[in-house]
Chain A
């Protein structure tokens, strides 16, 4: 078990471009979460999957954001027409349905929009 992995670790893009991030959760973790963290702030919840179903979306997730989790394994987060305000660390976390309720976070993808 290598933990939650995210790719890429860093992404620099120009305003208006589309970007896609990938998250591979810990195997057998059926719950997967996306968060966004800006400098000096705590992470903010974006969306949540149980298996392949997207069950919750924050109001922070504008129409330019879309997330998928095909087959209930890895997940992708796409941002269309990026804006400078999208610059942040995008964190993925996973956990099992029961047990300790502990969410394990990945290393994050740092997005810079120029």
Chain B
């Protein structure tokens, strides 16, 4: 059974600081997804990582994938309050849907 583990599950940080969220998964996969979810809202796609060594950046967020280590990271640079949300990683086993982690609840305080 595919398992996806995120850590930390909860993170409170100050504006301007850097931090990394980790996503480990238990079986081979070449596709890794990062989503953002605001309270009471649906999921917003941030990144799709399709191969080993893939790195994508959008604004203050950067995601990377190491398929050999079965590890993805989401790095936040110089955090701002607007980035407060829950971040999910998910692994694609093929056509049969995504398996999500439990999410990292991120609070960024002024």
Contact = CB atoms under 8 A, between A and B. Distances in A.
The reply to whether chain A is a binding partner of chain B is: yes
Interface of A: 31, 33, 35, 40-48, 50, 55-56, 58, 91, 100-108
Contact of B33 (A41, A46, A103, A106): A103
Residue among B33, B100, B101 with max Cβ neighbours from chain A (10 Å): B100
Interface of B: 4, 31, 33, 35, 41-45, 48, 50, 88, 90, 92, 95-103
Contact residues of B: prevailing secondary structure: strand
7 contacts: A44-B100, A48-B96, A55-B95, A56-B95, A58-B97, A100-B48, A103-B45
Given A101-B48, A101-B50, A56 B43 contact: no
Contact of B43 (A40, A41, A91): A91
A71 B96 CA distance: 20
A44 B101 CA distance: 10
Contacts, number: 62
Contacts of A101: 31, 48, 50, 92
Contact of B41 (A45, A58, A107): A107
Given A101-B92, A102-B45, A108-B42, A45 B50 contact: no
A103 B92 CA distance: 10
B48 A42 contact: no
Contacts of B44: 105
Given A91-B42, A105-B45, 10 more contacts: A41-B102, A42-B88, A43-B88, A43-B100, A48-B95, A50-B95, A55-B95, A102-B45, A105-B35, A105-B42
A112 to B, nearest CB: 13
A103 B98 contact: yes
A103 B35 CA distance: 10
Contacts of B88: 42-43
